[in-house]
Amino acid sequence: MQFVFPTFLWTLFILAIPVLIHLFYFRRYKKIEFTNVRFLKELVEETATRNRIKNLLILLARLCALAALILAFAQPFSNNGQSAIKQTQSISIYIDNSWSMNANSEDGSLLQKAKRRTRDIILASSDNDRFQLLTNDFEGKHQRLVSKDDALIFLEEIKSGPAVQPLSKIIAKQSQCFKNAGVGHGIAYLLSDFQRSICDLDSNLVDSSLAINLVPIQSVEENNVSIDTAYFDSPVLLPGQTHALIYKVSNFGNSPVDNLSTSYSINGQEYPGKPIFIQTGKSKTDTFYIKVPDQSWQKIIIKIKDFPVQFDDSYYMSYKTDQQIDVLVLYSKEIPVILLKALESIPFFKVKSQQQNQIDYSKLGNFRLIILNELADISTGMATELQKATQQACNLFIFPRPVTALNDNINLVPILNIPQFTNFDTARKLATHANLDSDIFKDVFNPTRDQIKLPTSFGHYTLSGGAPFEKIVTFRDGLPMISRIKAGNASVFISASPLDQKFNDLSKNAEIFLPLLFKAAIASERNQNYTFDLSNNPQINLTLQENINEQDFIVSLVGPETFIPSFRISGKNLIIDLYDQLKTAGIYTINNKEELLAYSTFNDSRRESNLSVIRPEELSLSYGGFCKLINDNNNSDFTSVIKSERSGPFLWWYLLIASFIFLIIESLLIRFWKNH
């Protein structure tokens, strides 16, 4: 048996006080003479003996009650015959430092409470014990065992941040730390609010050599509304045009939200949005209609007003507008005048035409759309270069030559996996259906319209084989006149008819032709991603205009924080690795020395927007088979709780009961054992 507070045993000297009182306690008897006192003397001696026994029993009861009370304050505990408390142990303590731990409890923020509990765990251990302090940041210094003093220093440095990790990943890190240190058995403590979104423990995946202790640090659940995501409905933003900005808001609270205030800012200019209503536990998608300014970069912030949780009340975005859309027309012999005029009539199109034998293959990837207009005998080399262009999100539109298209496009078929052109038919054939559900036409025509003028073909091929394709315009018999297949991030559009007006009146039908060309140019997923989740250790990949020398670059990120990241260059791509350097959400400029390269935005993870937690009772039910739950119930002496869990049960409760029992015995002796 050992004691948490052994110095308190000195108070056992207090037991001498009732003993001394008993020894000096006596009664003075008045002496009276009787003629014959023999029988009276015997009676007095018998009574004195009985009273003496009673007093001794009362004294003994008082001493036992006082001794039990003193021992209870010294807090003895049983270590079951072991000296584990004096052995060196390896202890890993995980402190959840995500944003949700900034919620308030009855005695400060949850993070501060978790840090106090961690300090209690460290102080309850011996000086020889070794510690790992682990947070969601997975910092290098937190991946090894350190001394008690170093652990206390690391503890003071812990701050809340955007990183979020599932518990399975935490347990894996703790196990790995013990293995690296050659520790056969370790003790793990997990101090967290145990949000449902991170609780993914599986008994089959937990190392059996790890003793896991769950310490819930929780507050009363709070309501929260978050902006989950936002995006433009168009892959291309054109200056001066109005675009739909779609955003999604979720209500994770226990009651509906009415008149939620929304707003957005673009390049620092604030605009109000309409209030929205969201049912309990539901999400709602709404739209801002934004007129894009003429400047190249657009910095956008979407905001809601929601209290008290605010880390997910803003969503940051950055986009680069296309000042022009580059289109290349490749032809065999005759310049396609009608096609060029149609393209040049479309705003923002910058059109270039080249003969088939004069192509600069190195620049094909710079175009948004390449139109192959009745090319003759496409070589394997040209087909390969066109396939490389599609990898850079360049779309292709193929109009075949009449009669000989099978041989002309034979090399495109295996490389781009397009259908083969077979059986050229000069019969007149009407197109009767346009796919208004496709993104090509869905915002061009009103689906309720009865009549849309569609083209007529006077010569067409049958398409067979190749990758699955989407029908854009269809003949009466269901065969495709214009179809599309996906090629990576790009699209390949295929016309079954030549564009020559002898075989096809599509070029005369501006209602279909111009929207088709425009949508074909913007159909690729070419927009680079400039918006990232901070919790995913984002990597920024910027495509530059030309090959660059790494020695000419000094890259920096400037925003709510400023730092110089690590980067590498591959061809025209600048790859920036952020790892865990970035902690603050917001809009950042990416600079090369003094030159602006791009704007990039970072948002806090929405994983913790749902504040629902697993309560201790459910934790015990779900994980009690392989984890121990330490629920201190706001016990101010958490050190004793930890020592009890590690060293054996504390006996102070039994001693306190024993003290009350002895006091009851004393009362019964005084009440029912009468003096004679």
Residue 365 inside a domain? The answer is yes
Identify which has the larger pLDDT, 27 or 339. Answer: 339
Q: Are residues 343 and 411 in the same domain?
A: yes
Q: Are residues 307 and 189 in the same domain?
A: no
CA distance linking residue 155 with residue 95, whole number of Å: 9
Q: Are residues 139 and 181 in the same domain?
A: yes
Could you list the residue range(s) of the whole structural domain that residue 40 is in? 2-78+652-672
What count of residues does the chain have? Answer: 676
Q: Are residues 205 and 291 in the same domain?
A: no
Q: Are residues 268 and 351 in the same domain?
A: no
Return the pLDDT at 83. Answer: 43
| pLDDT bucket at 333, cuts 50 / 70 / 90 | confident
| pLDDT bucket at 258, cuts 50 / 70 / 90 | very high
Encode pLDDT of 608-624 as tens digits: 899 889 999 999 999 98
Q: Are residues 131 and 190 in the same domain?
A: yes
Flag whether pLDDT at 447 surpasses 80.
Answer: no
Residue 455 inside a domain? The answer is yes
CATH number at residue 545: 2.60.40
Q: How many CB atoms lie within 10 A of CB 518?
A: 21
Q: Are residues 497 and 548 in the same domain?
A: no
Return the pLDDT at 236. Answer: 81
- From residue 195, alpha-carbon distances to 274, 470, 567, 641 in Å are 32, 43, 35, 24
Q: Are residues 313 and 447 in the same domain?
A: no
Flag whether pLDDT at 323 surpasses 70.
Answer: yes
Residue 526 inside a domain? The answer is no
**Of 539-548, 574-583, 586-595, where does the model show the most confidence?**
586-595
| pLDDT bucket at 484, cuts 50 / 70 / 90 | very high
Q: Are residues 141 and 261 in the same domain?
A: no
Q: Are residues 349 and 480 in the same domain?
A: yes
Domain boundary among 521, 549, 571: 521
Q: Which strands, in side-by-side order, build the sheet including 225-232?
A: 225-232, 242-251, 283-291
Flag whether pLDDT at 281 surpasses 70.
Answer: yes
Domain boundary among 496, 521, 546: 521
Flag whether pLDDT at 604 surpasses 60.
Answer: yes
Which class for 195: exposed (0-12), middle (13-18), buried (19 or more C-beta within 10 A)?
A: buried
Residue 147 inside a domain? The answer is yes
Encode pLDDT of 47-69 as tens digits: 667 777 878 888 888 888 888 88
Q: What is the mean pLDDT of residues 288-299?
A: 90
Residue 326 inside a domain? The answer is no
Return the pLDDT at 451. Answer: 72
Flag whether pLDDT at 289 surpasses 80.
Answer: yes
Mapped onto helix, strand or coil, the DSSP state of residue 19 is: helix
**Of 43-52, 309-318, 550-559, where does the model show the most confidence?**
309-318
Residue 584 inside a domain? The answer is yes
CATH number at residue 308: 2.60.40.10
Residue 327 inside a domain? The answer is no
Flag whether pLDDT at 632 surpasses 70.
Answer: no
Query: How many structural domains does the chain have?
Result: 5
Mean pLDDT of the chain: 86
160 and 99 Cβ atoms separated by less than 8 Å:
yes
Q: What is the mean pLDDT of residues 231-252?
A: 90
Can you list the pairs that 245-248 forms with residues at least 24 positions away whose Cβ atoms lie under 8 Å? 245/287, 245/288, 245/289, 245/290, 245/300, 245/302, 246/285, 246/286, 246/287, 247/285, 247/286, 247/287, 247/288, 247/302, 247/315, 248/283, 248/284, 248/285
Q: Are residues 591 and 619 in the same domain?
A: no
Looking at the DSSP bridge assignments, the partners of residue 463 are 421
pLDDT over 70 percentage in the chain: 89
Residue 661 inside a domain? The answer is yes
Return the pLDDT at 493. Answer: 97
| pLDDT bucket at 408, cuts 50 / 70 / 90 | confident
Q: Are residues 495 and 388 in the same domain?
A: yes
Identify the weakest region by mean pLDDT among 231-245, 338-352, 555-569. Answer: 231-245
CATH number at residue 481: 3.40.50.880
| pLDDT bucket at 85, cuts 50 / 70 / 90 | very low
Q: What is the pTM of this model?
A: 0.73
